[in-house]
């Protein structure tokens, strides 16, 4: 399973839409998020449990996300003091929640001496339990600043790298993303990068709307498959403008709608009178240098005659087009088994995106 598009980390589930699964799904759908990353454990302890009732606050959220077709990943802050216990709680939570992927958040504690063996033991245990589950490392953006972290031991066993590209005290996401990529491309093994951007306040600093757009633009410009933000709960509470920016950003914009002229020529070259007629309003008028016809039945008959008698087995070619709004003018040529057209010149008058009036001029030469 690959991870693509926009995602958000949730830290404290009660602070994200009050922990309401339906509201979380609604917000995720409105924001176009392909995945949500939920904190499932901290060290050797399960996270996001209701300590009074001992109920799991995440299970209904995961179920709701899956029902909506949104991937649910779990993330886990690890310390390395007891890697066996941390692996055990991760395995337990992953089995309980049936998550789509798992993120290891390893930071300052894993820079202490002796953490290479801890990372190796932890990852080996995880991979024995889940040999095929997608996993990712979430840690510092510049590994050159943190050589003590056991990068290789983690990256050897994960599928993705989710560096925390937090440009705190600055407003320069572009060079920070690019430097992150350069540094990780120089490391072995290299894993596909899905960077995480900041969506929180740090003292008097906060990312700007411009920062956030530039971060996502830079991620896409470098052909990375996705981007995450940390964290949903803080962003919704403190930075609604950043939430709106991330939600409104079209990761994969819809393809441009074909113009009516392009659709008309596609229908002509299908040689199907019904497809051509579907581009007209029911009461549309078509005028040629010979006569005028009006209405769906008359239009279908005219195109049937065009495709079988006037220009049998035709191929139409658009040679020029102009106009906008409710008016189009275009020129064209056609070739057929019986004759050809070299001087086609037409005008459309449109209403609600359909052809209301159509004037055609052309001469068939044999």
Q: In CATH terms, is domain 260-365 a member of 3.30.1490.20?
A: no
Over the stretch 124-150, which tens digit does the pLDDT of each residue have? Answer: 999 999 999 999 999 999 999 999 999
217 three-state secondary structure: helix
3-state SS class at 238: helix
Indicate the class that CATH gives domain 5-248: alpha beta
Could you give the CA distance from residue 261 to residue 186 in angstroms, rounded to a whole number?
Answer: 50
336: Cα within 13 Å, side-chain hemisphere: 23
Which residues of the chain fall below pLDDT 50?
A: none
CA distance 131 to 126: 8
User: Is the peptide bond prior to 189 cis by the omega test (within 30 degrees of 0)?
Assistant: yes
CB 135 within 8 A of CB 141: no
Question: Which residues, in sequence order, are CB contacts of 230 under 8 Å at separation 6+?
Answer: 8, 9, 11, 164, 166, 196, 197, 198, 199, 200
User: How far, in Å, CA of 103 to CA of 3, rounded?
Assistant: 12
Is residue 41 helix, strand or coil? strand
Q: How many CA atoms lie within 13 A of 130 on its CB side?
A: 22
Domain boundaries, the chain: 5-248, 260-365
Query: With left for phi above 0 and alpha for psi between -120 and 50, is residue 351 left, alpha or beta?
Result: beta
User: What per-residue confidence (pLDDT) applies to 1?
Assistant: 58
């Amino acid at each position: 399973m690959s991870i693509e598009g926009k995602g958000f980390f949730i830290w404290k589930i009660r602070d994200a839409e009050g922990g309401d699964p339906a509201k979380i799904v609604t917000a995720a759908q409105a924001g176009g998020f392909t995945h949500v990353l939920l904190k499932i454990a901290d060290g050797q302890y399960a996270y996001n449990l209701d300590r009074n009732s001992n109920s799991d606050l995440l299970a209904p959220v995961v179920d709701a996300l899956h029902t909506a077709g949104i991937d649910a990943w779990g993330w886990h802050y690890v310390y390395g003091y007891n890697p066996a216990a941390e692996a055990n709680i991760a395995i337990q939570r992953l089995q309980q929640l049936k998550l789509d992927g798992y993120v290891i958040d390893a930071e300052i504690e894993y820079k202490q001496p002796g953490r290479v063996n801890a990372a190796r033991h932890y990852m080996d245990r995880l991979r024995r339990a889940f040999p095929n589950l997608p996993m990712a490392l979430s840690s510092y953006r510049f590994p050159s600043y943190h050589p003590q972290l056991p990068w290789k031991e983690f990256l050897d066993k994960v599928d993705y790298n989710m560096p925390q590209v937090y440009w705190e005290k600055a407003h320069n996401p572009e060079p920070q993303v690019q430097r992150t990529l350069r540094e990780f491309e120089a490391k072995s093994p290299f894993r596909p990068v899905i960077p995480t951007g900041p969506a929180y306040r740090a003292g008097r600093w906060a990312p700007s709307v411009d920062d956030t757009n530039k971060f996502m633009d830079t991620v896409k410009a470098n052909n990375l498959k996705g981007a995450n933000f940390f964290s949903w709960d803080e962003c919704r509470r403190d930075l609604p403008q950043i939430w709106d920016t991330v939600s409104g950003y079209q990761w994969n914009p819809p393809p441009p709608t074909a113009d009516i002229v392009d659709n008309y020529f596609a229908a002509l070259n299908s040689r199907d009178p019904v497809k051509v007629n579907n581009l007209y309003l029911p009461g549309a008028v078509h005028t040629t240098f010979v006569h005028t016809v009006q209405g769906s039945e008359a239009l279908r008959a005219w195109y049937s005659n065009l495709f079988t008698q006037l220009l049998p087995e035709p191929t139409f070619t658009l040679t020029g087009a102009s106009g906008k709004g409710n008016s189009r003018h275009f020129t064209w040529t056609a070739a057929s088994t019986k004759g050809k057209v070299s001087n086609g010149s037409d005008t459309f008058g449109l209403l609600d995106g359909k052809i209301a009036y159509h004037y055609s001029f052309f001469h068939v030469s044999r």
